[in-house]
Structure formats: structure tokens, C-alpha cells
Amino acid sequence: MEISQKEENGIVSIAIKGRLDADSSLEAEQVVKEALGGDTNRLLFNLGELEYLSSAGLRVLLSAAKEMRRRDGKIVLCALNEFVKEIFEVSGFQSLIPITESVESGIEALS
């Protein structure tokens, strides 16, 4: 798993590449915690290169969504492949976290 992070126009973007599973979820959780360390209230997860998502990885994303709700902030997941999107649909979590088709539409949703 590779994680990259950047901040632009008040939006923190976290891109995850590879597998977000039990082995990598602790690292991902740490990156998200650090990203939310300040007064961040807009968070974008670019999952365009996420190949696999386990329940441990799902927990990382749901934890971030819960924190953003606590802050009255916004969170968006974007560019999910069909496999990852299906996980959100089957679990019912797409009703908890907005999902957009592209990074651009995700940024628009947060603006």
C-alpha cells in the first residue's frame, strides 16, 4: 500500500494505492489521524488506485467519516473501481459517505 497526502484550497486529499487491509490499516489510520490533526474539515479520499478493501480498511474510512461528522465537516470518496464500489454498496456504507465518480467531482462536492 502507498498513501500520499496533500492539501489544496482547504481540502486535504489522501490517495491510497494498492491494498487497504488488516496489514496496512494501522498505517492508513495513522496517516488519517495526522491529516486530521489540525482544524481540517474537508477530506477527500482518492481511491482510484485502491485494488482491495477489507473490513479493517473499511473501518479506517468509517472512522474518518465519523470524525468529520463530529467536526461538522465534509468527507468524499472518489474514483472507486467497481470492486471497491461494490463493497460499499453491499455493506450499505455508501449511504454514510458520499461517493463521486472522479477527483474533480469530489473536489466540487467539497467546495
CB burial of residue 61 (10 Å; 0-12, 13-18, 19+)? buried
Helix axes 55-70, 25-35, angle to 10 degrees: 10
Q: Please report the pLDDT score of residue 94 as a whole number.
A: 84
Of the candidates 110, 53, 41, 57, which has an alpha carbon nearest to the alpha carbon of residue 86?
53
**44 has pLDDT over 90:** yes
Residue 38 reports pLDDT greater than 90: no
* pTM greater than the 0.85 cutoff: yes
> Architecture of domain 2-110 in CATH?
2-Layer Sandwich (3.30)
